[in-house]
Amino acid sequence: MRKLLLHILLGILSLYLIAEFIPGITFTGPIKNFLLAGTVLGILNYLIKPILSFFLFPINLLTFGLGGLVINIGFMFLVLCYFFGSNFQVSGFLPLILATILTSFIYTFLLYSTKEFWHE
């Protein structure tokens, strides 16, 4: 349960940093939609990403990790453009890729640096 909470907090943090620092992605809407979008991103990364990574392992192995990047781009597209498209304005594919890379760094560094505290 603590690990799920960490994923949700990292999802909210990454969306905040994306909206603040990546040009081409803006958030317009109520704060509850922002928190809900971060929660959805965290739940996708916690529940769905390990399953997709398992099934796409051969592709990920052949492409030296680009399969994982494609999964992350898909999650970011779902959250920013599909589920919460009325609240986030994404102006092109490059900001989406930059947002995915920033989110990957946040998850990688903060998830594994707090491993002893958060993991059950």
**Residues 5-14 pLDDT 10s:** 989 999 999 9
Strands (E) in 7-86, as ranges, are 25-27
pTM of the model: 0.88
Determine the pLDDT at residue 119. 53
Higher pLDDT, 75 or 65: 75
Contact (Cβ atoms closer than 8 angstroms) between residue 26 and residue 81: no
